[in-house]
Structure 1
């Protein structure tokens, strides 16, 4: 069998032979004249040598043949001519000999060049042979690589097919999981609706029985008209009794029920009513008439901890101190040391700038939306709080503090606000007049304040949480009590407070790297949250409760976000890899869909459970 490349090998050999023949012809033509000249010179040299010898021997032979040589010897002129001719012949012979030597030398040089070229030709032949062998090896390697590539392509196609199958199975499982979650949510909603309907029926039956009992005791038998009037009067009195009993239920008790229905005018109750479309048969109270503008937003009943980051970007020119979601969970506000408050829309898992609020002469320390979402209150290091109307009207400044304002909060109403400052005072404000209506001196620097229907709660640097009476159901102003009604002492100074939507639990963050969950009904600590690696980054680190009060969340000094289970106090999840600086604040939307965290590195991260 003919070896691969045999034809090509024969072709290049023939090509080399042709090139050598061509070179011989060229060199033979170049040296042909030289050889002919050299041969002519040799012939002339031989001829001159014979002529010289003949001339030298000819006089002697002539003298021997002629007896009268003495009388017939050549004259001086003849000898001179012969000698001159001999000299010319010798000179000509020398030149020819020199030319012959030069030509011989050139011939020798050409022979040397020919030898060198022959050696180079041999080297090139060896190199060509090596390249031929290398090419053969590369062709064999190419064949092997093509086979290996075909095997890899087959394996890749097989793995790709398996991957598609796994992704399809994963998608089916996720769909099944969502369906199961939706089914469970619908069942829980139906159970809650059934339970509420049952409670409504029981309540209606109770009122009917009370009215009938009252009618039996008070209706006289003097006539149908008097009986009807008496029934109407008793019916109105019974309704008044029901209203008074409802108001009594709203007053604080030592053993207060955990039912969310007994929370008065809190935002969480309104959200639950809208969520399940419940219609309580209750006449509006004075406070509810005053705040009839309030339209509660939807609140997530069951929250899940976030899993992944949807958006991560530096959004301020300096470190960020505060973040807060709007009541409708569609907007989020951030503020920091660059003296601005920025409002962002959440669209497609991204933060899009909507509005920039300016006017503060110091860094922003806290932010809060009013329940309608149309106003924003921010505390500032310039010794004042700033109220912005988001509908475009001019902003107002609440001035009067002599130190940095660390927190500013609405008091469950559009018209009241509370601020705390480093000048060791708490001020309550009438937002209609932008005037201070109450100044409370305190014994320690106040770091944060929150408000409920019943209390105004403050966290201090002397390690104490103080409760002041702030009942929103009192018709008088200021409230009845001017003194602290309760204190809770912790291990270290408090950095932030967060109250649950049902107003039964309070979460505090302190400098001993711990979070404490406090029962507002009993005033005792329910849970203490700690974790390896969690460290409170600064004196204004803010921790929060989830909308359903099932989880507690806070950011650490190393950029990690920790999430604890509020029932078991165990670490549920930690989120890291996005923040490289200390996390100052976190916010959880009321819908439960998003969490936003901000840090000292000017970065904000949007988290979600999906």
Structure 2
């Protein structure tokens, strides 16, 4: 089944989960598309089965809190940032709720996490104005970059380079093998007037970078030239919260949450708004992601919703 306009427009909510009592901050699909994990302000980590459409397990992180969470490459393990005690990143076995390792170093809140697509490395960026590179097998930081402002960061799909967005107007690209020599290219973009960058993602084909904000616009940038290609608008963000924007796996479409509880969809090439999907979210939708392997969308406010297409083409 191929993603075309009619199929995207036909997406409807197939399942709603009401496990959480507070807003869901972060969701992440496993690389095989079979599971999704969420973290919430109520200190709960919830794992779902995407094939069966069921809730598999809930883990309480009352001691450390949880804000950002990502699957690692091993099944049933994740890394997450903390909201209590300190700003250490924690490596958790989702199978038996035991911590495997801690990654200390950040002195302020961690605001960006990115897992390398092929290796056991990950990036973390913090309000302490540093970006750190880690290997999941070692508690020691493998690389430390001091930046001039709040960072957002992401690996490219091949895991050879990573991008760091700084001060909401600069994107720096680093080669993973020689990042200590500094960025190999720097793109200067027009400074955002009314919002800050809160997220960065490469498209699956590696050609573009999607920049999400805590305002009501999303930027699309050419990953090779730094040229601003599109600005997606029309969704609502009257609360100044970081609203996630995501690509479809074929890089054709961009999906975003909204404070009006709806999902807004644009054509990535033309910037044209394709549709607004209404899933009866009762609160702002902060998270929205497309499954990397299956024809399925997930969105979250306080509730988690699974979306499926209702037509074949």
Do the structures match in fold with TM over 0.5?
Answer: yes
Q: Conserved in 1, the CA contact under 8 Å of 2:125 and 2:131?
A: yes
Which of residues 469, 476, 485 is equivalent to 2:185?
A: 485
Q: Conserved in 1, the CA contact under 8 Å of 2:238 and 2:259?
A: yes
Q: Post-superposition shift, 1:430?
A: 2.5
Evaluate the alpha carbon distance shift between residue 372 and residue 504 of structure 1 in structure 2; reply closer, same or farther with a 3 A threshold: farther
Unmatched segments (≥5 aa) in structure 1:
1-180, 186-299
Q: 2: distance between equivalents of 1:572 and 1:432? A: 43
What's the TM-score, normalizing by structure 1? 0.46
Evaluate the alpha carbon distance shift between residue 465 and residue 377 of structure 1 in structure 2; reply closer, same or farther with a 3 A threshold: farther
Secondary structure, counterpart of 1:507 in structure 2: strand
**Residue 497 of structure 1: aligned partner:** 200
More helix by share: 1
**Residue 522 of structure 1: aligned partner:** 225
Q: 2: distance between equivalents of 1:315 and 1:390? A: 17
Secondary structure, counterpart of 2:181 in structure 1: coil
Evaluate the alpha carbon distance shift between residue 540 and residue 520 of structure 1 in structure 2; reply closer, same or farther with a 3 A threshold: same
**Residue 127 of structure 2: aligned partner:** 422
**Deviation digits for residues 252-299 of structure 1 (CA, Å, limit 9, x no counterpart):** xxxxxxxxxxxxxxxxxxxxxxxxxxxxxxxxxxxxxxxxxxxxxxxx
**Deviation digits for residues 308-355 of structure 1 (CA, Å, limit 9, x no counterpart):** 11112322132110111111212110101122321111345x3x2223
Which of residues 467, 485, 494 is equivalent to 2:172?
A: 467
**Deviation digits for residues 221-280 of structure 1 (CA, Å, limit 9, x no counterpart):** xxxxxxxxxxxxxxxxxxxxxxxxxxxxxxxxxxxxxxxxxxxxxxxxxxxxxxxxxxxx
Q: More deviation in 533-542 or 574-583?
A: 533-542
Q: 2: distance between equivalents of 1:536 and 1:487? A: 29
Which is greater in Rg? 1
Q: Post-superposition shift, 1:435?
A: 1.3
Q: Post-superposition shift, 1:510?
A: 2.2
Q: 2: distance between equivalents of 1:372 and 1:501? A: 21
What does 1:52-91 align with in structure 2 at a 5 Å threshold? none
Secondary structure, counterpart of 1:583 in structure 2: coil
**Residue 369 of structure 1: aligned partner:** 71
Q: Conserved in 2, the CA contact under 8 Å of 1:430 and 1:437?
A: yes
Q: 2: distance between equivalents of 1:428 and 1:322? A: 21
Unmatched segments (≥5 aa) in structure 2:
none
Higher relative contact order (CA 8 A, sep 6+): 2
Q: 2: distance between equivalents of 1:489 and 1:369? A: 31
Which of residues 268, 272, 277 is equivalent to 1:575?
A: 277
**Residue 148 of structure 2: aligned partner:** 443
What's the TM-score, normalizing by structure 2? 0.86
Q: Post-superposition shift, 1:502?
A: 1.6
Count of aligned pairs: 301
**Residue 457 of structure 1: aligned partner:** 163
Q: Conserved in 2, the CA contact under 8 Å of 1:450 and 1:456?
A: yes
**Residue 117 of structure 2: aligned partner:** 412
Q: Post-superposition shift, 1:591?
A: 2.1
Q: 2: distance between equivalents of 1:465 and 1:455? A: 16
**Residue 549 of structure 1: aligned partner:** 251
